[in-house]
Amino acid sequence: MPFTSRRNFIAGLAGAGVALPVLSERAAAQLFKAETLAGSRTAAELANDESYWSEIQRAFDSDRTMINLNNGGISPTPSHVLEQMIRDLRFVNELPVEHNWRVLEPRMESTRRELAKEFGCDPEEMAITRNASEGLEIMILGIDLQRGDEVIVTNQNYGRMITTWQQRERREGIVLKQVSFPVPLVDPQVLLRNIEAAITPRTKVIELTHITNLSGQILPIRDVVRMARPRGIEVFVDGAHAFAHFPFKRDELECDYYATSLHKWMHAPIGSGFLYVRKERIPKLWPMMGSDVSRVANVRKYEEIGTHPQATFNAVSVAITFHRGIGAERKIARLRYLRDRWAKALQADSPRVRVLTELGPDKAGAICMFGVDGLDPVKLGSWMLANHRIVNTPIVHPEFNGIRITPSIYTSIDEIDTFVDTVKVAIRKGIA
């Protein structure tokens, strides 16, 4: 049922657990107008409604002189979230020792509580970090391993995580195994079989991505956990690109460890993320920075990084509210619509186009990779950036290559269509 007044809208969101009072007047008004336009339509029906999504786009002060199709790296934050962070930065600067530690730091418990709600865990299992890499480094460097112990990763894991394991391999004599899987991964059982084939009695950890940063493939985390847990193998999940990208909860994954960045799909300020560790696992996972023995079982030991960027962490709460105001189902429906719009248009245009990500209403998300036979992806990507101001991500992997395209909720149809037209020109006329 459409909301008939802003008071009715706010009451409805509050009833759904959305803490709208933290939104600015401008942001609340934009969400209300968008909700009025949405009416009672489903997420799928709303995915291509430009009147609705143009209201969401207005929440971002984006540089429209360039077309940003690399939102898998860092996404912009809505203007009102940035304003909240800046207000807190100014407040801190007035009297840092009091305002940062005694006023703002206690408020981080609200961010912890709301992130725990979104992920579906106990707040006492949720640590606020600066990014997914920090959370994964805590896992990788914090677990006790002996010389000869084995760790399994895929060769599509994030590069920094692979190099961190390799450092432990060089320094401590553990054994790192990298398994491969096809792109696209049409049958998830292929990955499961490859991982299982690499398991030995010395295997202690499996670390893999929830969704790959290369092709956007969503991996079968729960199946890996169910395979590993009876064998006493820990599973570390790199959720850098998954959280707030598409809807899921902790219990759907059944995982004990999960780390993500919040400056990608939650649209929180740059330098924010979280680390989840199941409560009974906390005592055995060491923090990166030393913590007092009294905090052995306290998830806050992972937040011991010295002076915190408190304004950044507290602004996450405002980003969560904006995310809830849109709705996770609407967000992923829109992102898949944008992905399919460009990918299917290019597929239909030329048999030279290869889409290396599964398409469909329940497949992958915004991240999608394509290639054009006869065109080097690095050269094509550079040509699009230099000549057409289209930001993109060329991918060169030993087993595949292409260009990663990643729109976001603020991306317009005109921008998508301009990108499509540009690639068509490259296919027909070349890029020399």
pLDDT in tens, 25-68: 667 677 778 788 888 899 999 999 999 999 999 999 988 899 99
> Looking at the predicted structure, is the pLDDT value of residue 307 above 80?
yes
Question: Do residues 361 and 338 both lie within one domain?
Answer: yes
Q: Could you give the angle at which helices 310-326 and 105-119 cross, rounded to 10 degrees?
A: 30
What is the average per-residue pLDDT within 318-342? 96
Residue 35 lies in a domain: no
| The total number of structural domains that make up the chain | 2
Question: Do residues 144 and 197 both lie within one domain?
Answer: yes
> Looking at the predicted structure, is the pLDDT value of residue 23 above 70?
no
Question: Do residues 313 and 352 both lie within one domain?
Answer: no
DSSP 99: I
Is residue 393 within 8 Å of 404, Cβ to Cβ?
yes
Residue 125 lies in a domain: yes
pTM: 0.92
Residue 72 lies in a domain: no
Question: Do residues 343 and 293 both lie within one domain?
Answer: no
> Looking at the predicted structure, is the pLDDT value of residue 13 above 80?
no
Residue 270 lies in a domain: yes
* pLDDT of 15: 45
Domain with 348, as residue range(s), is 330-427
> Looking at the predicted structure, is the pLDDT value of residue 18 above 50?
no
The domain boundary residue, chosen from 320, 347, 380: 320
Beta-carbon contacts of residue 135 (< 8 Å; ≥ 6 apart): 127, 129, 258, 259, 260, 273, 274, 275, 302
Question: Do residues 116 and 232 both lie within one domain?
Answer: yes
The domain boundary residue, chosen from 297, 320, 343: 320
* pLDDT of 30: 72
Distance CA 376, CA 379 (A): 5
- Out of 8-22, 124-138, 277-291, 298-312, least confident range: 8-22
Whichever domain contains 364, its CATH number is: 3.90.1150.10
Residue 201 lies in a domain: yes
- Cis peptide preceding 247, ω within 30 of 0: no
Question: Do residues 179 and 225 both lie within one domain?
Answer: yes
* β-strand partners of 370: 355, 403
Residue 36 lies in a domain: no
For 173-205, the pLDDT digits (tens) are: 999 999 999 999 999 999 999 999 999 999 999
> Looking at the predicted structure, is the pLDDT value of residue 146 above 80?
yes
Average pLDDT of the chain is: 93
Question: Do residues 224 and 246 both lie within one domain?
Answer: yes
Percent of the chain that is helix, strand, coil (3-state, to 5) = 50, 15, 35
Q: Please tell me the number of Cα atoms within 13 Å of 289 on its side-chain side.
A: 11
Whichever domain contains 161, its CATH number is: 3.40.640.10
Beta-carbon contacts of residue 69 (< 8 Å; ≥ 6 apart): 390, 391, 392, 405, 406, 407, 411, 415, 419
Residue 86 lies in a domain: no
Question: Do residues 294 and 341 both lie within one domain?
Answer: no
For 82-137, the pLDDT digits (tens) are: 999 999 999 999 999 999 999 999 999 999 999 999 999 999 999 999 999 999 99
* pLDDT of 22: 54
% residues pLDDT > 70 (the chain): 94
Residue 25: count of CB within 10 angstroms of its CB: 8
Residue type, 260: T
Distance CA 2, CA 40 (A): 6
Question: Do residues 294 and 355 both lie within one domain?
Answer: no
* pLDDT of 362: 81
Question: Do residues 155 and 231 both lie within one domain?
Answer: yes
Is residue 399 within 8 Å of 431, Cβ to Cβ?
no
Question: Do residues 258 and 167 both lie within one domain?
Answer: yes
> Looking at the predicted structure, is the pLDDT value of residue 398 above 50?
yes
> Looking at the predicted structure, is the pLDDT value of residue 297 above 90?
yes
> Looking at the predicted structure, is the pLDDT value of residue 143 above 80?
yes
Residue 47 lies in a domain: no
The domain boundary residue, chosen from 320, 343, 372: 320
